Structure 1
Amino acid sequence: MIQETFTYLKGFARRSYTVMEIRTGFATGLPVLSGGLFGACLTGHVKLVELFLFTLTGFCFNIIANTANEMRAFLANEENKETFTGHKGSEGLVRGDARFMDAVLILLLMLGIGGGSGLLLVWLTKSVWLFFWGCLSVVAAVTYSLGPKPYLLYPVTELISGFFVGGLSCYLSAYVQAGHNSWPLVWYSLISMIFTIFLMSTNNIGDYKKDMGVRVTLPHVIGFRNAILLLIPEAMIMLFAWTALFFMKVIPWWQYLIGWLIFYRQGYVNWYKDYYHIQEVYPDMGREYGPRPLLLIYHFHGWMSVIFIIRLLGEIL
């Protein structure tokens, strides 16, 4: 019995990696980090403990949603080797070596770590609203895929995921650092929200045929091409929010230009320029285009985090 337990635990970390889809965990962790640093720049000092706890909590909550999604796909028998994207770390329960019990343990572990760091954050900030939104975020992460009526079955996933994963997490992290509500926090969080909508939309568009008869996504409701075209007004809102931050003088001109360079390179050249011309879904579409909005999230929030740190160090020195 002891040897069997040891053998199971020995390979648990490797198998867990294939279920958690860690690369998308940073789709929440990085916005939380850059949002917190943005809020810190508004005041000129950073609360390091709160920033760390919030980033850890956001990362864990995203992993909870990813794992719950894998559990549902396995139980509903929705995945097979034909749906394999080839992305390392996203093999899942069907296409990899992980077992269902691995996913259950991961879910409980992430609930423990994310919930614990979140409660510690609430204790430090003494914020009832933070506790309320944290509890609601956990419920949203789990019920995304699990439960009698998971909302991934309906054409609301892009909006709900965008709100919780990108917008709310970024806003609350910035609010904890700034200590007050303000329009700059709203505009910066709106950018993060739209990035997440980009990610979810690209995933749903790529799974247009695979999801038919299984769940109804927004592309099924408005049409394949319209779903691709809808990204244009969403991008315009994102660019407006970024420009609003510049005119509010909370983003210096050089950081503003770097943001535009990232939008152009990662958003247009490496993604939407070719994506716009796709007329119908094809088998490798999800594999080819799925990671591209994720790279936009990585680059924007990664570089913005570095810039905010430089700005904070400049004020300190």
Structure 2
Amino acid sequence: MAVLLGTWISIQTTWWIAFIGTIGILVGFAYSAGQHSLASLGLGEIVAAVFLGFVTTGLGYSVQGHAINGLVLIIAFLFALLIATMILTINIRDFKKDQGYRNTLAMRIGRQSAIRLLTGLLITIYLCVMMLIFFQIVSWTAMITFLALPLAYRLRWSFRNTATRENEMRAMKWAGWHHWAFGLLFVLEL
């Protein structure tokens, strides 16, 4: 279905879509293929941010006939941060399971540093929204995205020092809900 849909979109717009989609599929395979995958080299968050943040947002705008400009890149940056939080959450949650098999970013920098990085990414997302409002790139109604903040808090709370393994397992649920809620609220504002 993805190939058919991609072909149809390429016919309707430009064949560059097919080329970029093919690269995305190849990178997706390299991301998760085996012990020497991009994820196991500590590049999972970056690959996801590029291909599920910048590339998908840019393609979405270009398919609709819009030029990629600074605003699109700023919006893509927010979505890149969101997907990076999801991948980092998975890597923190699976820290013990991945030992000896993968060398994720969380393993490379250590569990506590990875949790601090997750906290920093979550804070950065909301700081970016405030900056976008301050510089009048988006209207003040973008504050609606702050309704997703309790989900970010729950995500971070899942990795507190006294968290149980069950709390950590639920972290991915909170990361998914946060991504969905923030993204939906931000798009509604746009």
Q: Report the TM-score when normalising by structure 1.
A: 0.54
- Identify if the C-alpha distance between structure 1 residues 147 and 132 changes in structure 2 by more than 3 Å, giving closer, same or farther: farther
Determine the C-alpha separation between the residues in 2 that align with 1:276 and 1:144.
25
CA-CA distance at 1:184 after TM superposition: 1.1
Determine the C-alpha separation between the residues in 1 that align with 2:37 and 2:89.
20
Determine the C-alpha separation between the residues in 2 that align with 1:237 and 1:220.
22
- Identify if the C-alpha distance between structure 1 residues 240 and 178 changes in structure 2 by more than 3 Å, giving closer, same or farther: farther
CA contact (8 A) 2:35 2:102 kept: no
Asked if residue 259 in structure 1 is aligned to residue 145 in structure 2, the reply is yes
Structure-1 residue corresponding to 2:179: 297
Which runs of structure 2 are paired with 1:55-134 in the superposition (5 Å)?
113-128=1-16, 130-134=17-21
- Identify if the C-alpha distance between structure 1 residues 125 and 245 changes in structure 2 by more than 3 Å, giving closer, same or farther: farther
Determine the C-alpha separation between the residues in 1 that align with 2:140 and 2:35.
50
Relative contact order, CA 8 A, sep 6+: which one is greater?
A: 1
Determine the C-alpha separation between the residues in 1 that align with 2:74 and 2:165.
37
Of 116, 133, 140, the residue aligned with 1:229 is 116
CA contact (8 A) 1:175 1:185 kept: no
Of 82, 85, 88, the residue aligned with 1:201 is 88
CA contact (8 A) 2:122 2:152 kept: no
Asked if residue 183 in structure 1 is aligned to residue 65 in structure 2, the reply is no
CA contact (8 A) 1:203 1:286 kept: no
Of 166, 169, 181, the residue aligned with 1:284 is 166
Structure-2 residue corresponding to 1:271: 155
Which consecutive unaligned segments of at least 5 residues does structure 1 have? 1-112, 309-317
CA contact (8 A) 1:246 1:253 kept: yes
CA-CA distance at 1:189 after TM superposition: 0.8
Whichever of the two has the greater Rg, that structure is 1
CA contact (8 A) 2:53 2:83 kept: yes
Of 80, 103, 106, the residue aligned with 1:216 is 103
Of 146, 152, 171, the residue aligned with 2:58 is 171
Structure-1 residue corresponding to 2:33: 146
**Residue type of the alignment partner of 2:151:** Q
| Secondary structure of the corresponding residue to residue 203 of structure 1 | helix
CA-CA distance at 1:294 after TM superposition: 0.5
Residue-pair matches, total:
190
